[in-house]
């Protein structure tokens, strides 16, 4: 439960100290050094002697796009790429001054393109941060082990008989970065390969996802600075004299509204122009040609960001912060014509992922924030998946965040997701949620079917304790009933009888129905409490009903048979398809509305799942208390324990059922996206 105090704006003078030397942005100790040119050069691996004498040959022979090769490039002390420098000396390349021939440049550009094709459309990396002082003081265990690209969460659990066991959850990602990895290495692994692509008309997005205090800001803040340094180098060497310009903007999405972080938090509006291009009206973009200037902008914007305090982080981000580096060029390479966007690199520091799930907070504002955050995180995931599957329809209207990023989701785009996790046992649940989000983003991607089938579902299974089910006809009927009945998108319907709350389980747990349990085990007071608890559980079940209705509403618009699988859909002739589509179009104008409803359904399933788990834990705790109290001669403890085991088994089966539904739901959602895109 997080206590959130509003404190806006974020102040650099607060307790938000960075601990590692490679995070030069906010570490006050570095400020002096950073602004000193030689220290700056040192920080960025630059040599401080003369720049352009003899280094050009090596620079270009070692590969124009090998950004590491630029690390040895020299900048004259005190000299930066400045607006005053003649960066538009005409369209002609200047081979004599750079020791380059035109064909070399062309070769290097085509090498760029080749490399661009080799950079994955989506990359998912996970970064584990070191344990912090609080966690160490609390003697929390480090529960994460890393082995090359795999990561294992060792979750401690208690069996019903109170014996401890460790459940392992193994995940595989494109990159897994442990606590010793520096920010420089994070950059090299994630953003550096995509920097050259933005000169090739690519829009790239890098975002950090994770629970509050897991290191998102720590990870994200240095990246734009390092990227802009590389962009400027490319602009001034590989693409010298080609009229490229670099622009920076920085804004946040807070509570579904946009604020300019570089212009006194001016409220911004988003509009679509005639070509369905998203414009953020009023957003200040600054042309920059010095890394130092960009650094100042980042600091200014970060200080203006909406933050609050949580138990996990004293300066917790409550908004999504988006910093964009945009490369533009005028049509003729001169400044006489307005510059047009060539490529864009967006860095998004997302708000803490647990915010959306925090339904316990009584503060209305915080709950609204949470809902907004949750919605945007779900929508973001769907967009990335749609992107990676090359789907024509990208559900960007799912949230403000995805709408804003619309132009990063169309055309040639690249996405890097860095999932940040805390290492400690106290964060286990959030860590697993983060890893599952990342896993889902990755696992349903094209060409990744092996992973989907083996790893993702095995992750689901691994995470589920499935005791052997006692034979119970009613309960099995219930499951069969649920599995066979599908809504019109093909995923299982919730029935009036919620399968994950089998009625017999509830009756026993609530004490409403005469059970075989020894009556002495329940005092009146306990009965009362259980009654209340049960009512609450019923209300929670009710909570699912409107969602079911909504799912049905959505599904009524599309014929069940024709959407049950993508395969079935393909079998339908084009005529049938057009009839079907016209039916869809007639009955609802905007497929994104449906998608919103679907996303909400998914969210509800996740919520229901979480509640099942919480409820099971409550039951175990309560029953254990009763068990201890009931440990008297004459009581039929064995019977009681058997009964309790049955309850827990059924609860676990209910949870498993929900997880299965969730997995099916996700597959159907994907099919739905394919369907929409094929109809466009």
Ligand X SMILES: Nc1ncnc2c1ncn2[C@@H]1O[C@H](COP(=O)(O)OP(=O)(O)OP(=O)(O)O)[C@@H](O)[C@H]1O
Binding residues, as ranges, are: 210-217
Distance in Å, CB of 363 to ligand X, minimum: 16
214 touches ligand X by CB under 6 A = yes
Q: At 401, phi and psi to the nearest 5?
A: -55, -50
Asked if residues 430 and 353 have their Cβ atoms less than 8 Å apart, the reply is: yes
Region from 12-20, 108-116, 146-154, 275-283 binding ligand X, contact rule CB under 6 A: 12-20
Q: According to CB under 6 A, which residues from 99 to 158 bind ligand X?
A: 129-130, 132
Query: For residue 222, is the peptide bond before it cis, meaning its omega torsion is within 30 degrees of 0?
Result: no
* CA 468, chain centre distance (Å): 35
CB of 46 to ligand X, least distance (A): 24
Nearer to ligand X (CB atom), residue 298 or residue 595? 298
The token pair at 388 is: 């990676």
Near ligand X by CB under 6 A: residue from 240, 241, 302, 313: 313
Single out the segment in contact with ligand X by CB under 6 A; choices: 211-219, 375-383, 509-517, 613-621.
211-219
Q: Residue written as tokens 């995931």?
A: 381
Could you tell me whether strands 257-260 and 244-254 are parallel, antiparallel, or unpaired per DSSP bridges?
Answer: antiparallel
Binding flag, residue 424, ligand X (CB under 6 A): no
Residue 212 touches ligand X, criterion: CB under 6 A: yes
Q: Cβ(241)–Cβ(41) under 8 Å? A: no
The stretch near ligand X (CB under 6 A) out of 216-224, 253-261, 271-279, 495-503 is 216-224
Residues 6+ positions from 670 with CB-CB distance below 8 Å: 385, 389, 444
Instruction: Give backbone dihedrals phi and psi of 165, rounded to 5 degrees, phi first.
Output: -150, 160
> Which of 44, 218, 347, 396 is close enough to bind ligand X by CB under 6 A?
218
Nearer to ligand X, 217 or 249 (CB): 217
Q: Contact between 317 and ligand X (CB under 6 A)? A: yes
Give a three-class secondary structure readout of 621-660.
HHHHHHHHHCCCCCCCHHHHHHHHHHHHHHHHHHHHHHHH
**Would you count residue 187 as binding ligand X (CB under 6 A)?**
no
The strands making up 164-172's β-sheet, listed across from edge to edge, are: 144-147, 150-158, 164-172
430 binds ligand X (CB under 6 A): no
- Give the nearest distance from C-beta 373 to ligand X in angstroms: 10
Q: Which is nearer to ligand X, 129 or 328 (CB)?
A: 129
**Residues tagged in the binding site annotation for ATP:** 210-217
Per the CB < 8 A criterion, the answer to whether 410 and 386 are in contact is: no
Q: Which of 323, 298, 209, 320 is nearest to 254 (CA)?
A: 320
Among 420, 441, 517, 658, the residue binding ligand X under the rule CB under 6 A is 420
Segment 344 to 363, residues that bind ligand X, using CB under 6 A: 352
For ligand X, give the closer residue by CB, 212 or 459.
212
Cβ 599 to ligand X shortest distance, Å: 22
Q: Is residue 18 a contact point for ligand X (CB under 6 A)?
A: yes
User: CB neighbours of 565 closer than 8 A, spacing ≥ 6?
Assistant: 490, 671
| Residue 410: CB atoms within 10 Å | 15
Candidates 98-106, 114-122, 309-317, 668-676; binding stretch for ligand X (CB under 6 A): 309-317
Binding site for ligand X (CB under 6 A): 16, 18-20, 129-130, 132, 210, 212-218, 313, 316-317, 352, 420
């Amino acid at each position: 439960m997080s206590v959130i105090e509003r404190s806006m704006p974020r102040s650099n003078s607060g307790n938000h100290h960075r601990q590692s030397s490679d995070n030069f942005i906010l570490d006050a100790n570095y400020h002096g050094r950073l602004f000193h040119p030689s220290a700056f050069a040192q920080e960025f691996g630059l040599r401080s002697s003369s720049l352009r004498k003899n280094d050009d040959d090596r620079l270009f022979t070692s590969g124009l796009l090998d950004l590491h090769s630029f690390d040895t490039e020299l900048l004259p002390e005190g000299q930066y790429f400045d607006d005053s420098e003649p960066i538009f000396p005409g369209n002609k390349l200047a081979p004599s001054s750079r020791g380059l021939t035109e064909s070399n440049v062309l070769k290097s550009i085509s090498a760029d393109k080749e490399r661009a094709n080799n950079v994955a459309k989506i990359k998912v990396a996970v970064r584990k941060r070191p344990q912090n002082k609080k966690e160490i003081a609390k003697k929390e265990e480090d529960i994460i082990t890393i082995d090359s690209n795999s990561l294992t969460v060792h979750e401690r659990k208690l069996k019903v008989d109170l014996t401890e066991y460790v459940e392992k959850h193994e995940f595989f990602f494109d990159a897994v970065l442990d606590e010793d990895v520096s920010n420089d290495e994070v950059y090299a692994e994630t953003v550096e390969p995509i920097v050259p692509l933005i000169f090739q008309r690519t829009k790239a997005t890098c975002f950090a996802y994770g629970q509050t205090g897991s290191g998102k800001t720590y990870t994200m803040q240095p990246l734009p600075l390092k990227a802009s340094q590389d962009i400027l180098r490319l602009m001034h060497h590989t693409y010298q004299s080609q009229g490229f310009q670099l622009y920076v903007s920085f804004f946040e999405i807070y509570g579904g509204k946009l604020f300019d972080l570089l212009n006194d938090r001016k409220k911004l509006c988003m509009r679509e122009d005639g070509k369905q291009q998203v414009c953020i009206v009023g957003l200040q973009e600054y042309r920059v040609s010095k890394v130092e200037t960009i650094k100042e902008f980042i600091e200014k914007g970060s200080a203006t960001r909406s933050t609050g305090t949580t138990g996990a982080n004293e300066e917790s981000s409550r908004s999504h912060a988006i910093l964009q580096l945009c490369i533009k060029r005028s049509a003729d390479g001169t400044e006489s014509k307005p510059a047009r966007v060539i490529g864009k690199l967006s860095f998004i520091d997302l708000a803490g992922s647990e915010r959306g799930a925090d339904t316990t907070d009584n503060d209305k504002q915080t709950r609204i924030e949470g809902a907004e955050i949750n919605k945007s995180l779900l929508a973001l995931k769907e967009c990335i998946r749609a992107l990676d599957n090359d789907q024509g329809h990208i559900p960007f209207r799912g949230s403000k965040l995805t709408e804003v990023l619309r132009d990063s989701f169309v055309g040639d785009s690249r996405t890097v997701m860095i999932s940040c996790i805390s290492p400690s046992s106290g964060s286990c649940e959030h860590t697993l949620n983060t890893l599952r989000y990342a896993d889902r983003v990755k696992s349903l991607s094209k060409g990744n079917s092996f992973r989907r089938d083996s790893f993702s579902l095995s992750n689901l299974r691994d995470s589920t304790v499935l005791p052997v089910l006692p034979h119970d006809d009613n309960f099995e009927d219930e499951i069969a009933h649920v599995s066979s009945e599908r809504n019109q998108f093909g995923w299982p319907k919730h029935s009036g009888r919620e399968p994950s709350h089998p009625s017999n389980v509830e009756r026993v747990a609530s004490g409403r129905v005469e059970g075989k349990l020894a009556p002495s085990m329940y005092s009146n007071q306990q009965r009362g409490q259980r009654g209340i608890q049960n009512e609450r559980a019923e209300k929670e079940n009710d909570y699912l009903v409107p969602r079911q209705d909504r799912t049905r509403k959505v599904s009524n618009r599309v014929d069940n048979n024709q959407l049950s699988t993508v395969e079935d859909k393909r079998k339908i002739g084009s005529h049938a398809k057009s009839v079907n589509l016209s039916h869809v179009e007639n009955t609802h104008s905007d497929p994104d509305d449906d998608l919103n409803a679907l996303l909400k359904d998914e969210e509800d399933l996740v919520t229901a799942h979480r509640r099942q788990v919480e409820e099971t834990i409550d039951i175990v705790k309560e029953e254990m208390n009763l068990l201890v109290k009931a440990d008297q001669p004459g009581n039929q403890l064995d019977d009681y324990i058997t009964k309790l085991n049955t309850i827990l088994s059924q609860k676990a089966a209910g949870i498993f059922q929900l997880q299965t539904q969730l997995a099916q739901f996700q597959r159907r959602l994907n099919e739905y996206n394919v369907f929409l895109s094929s109809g466009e």
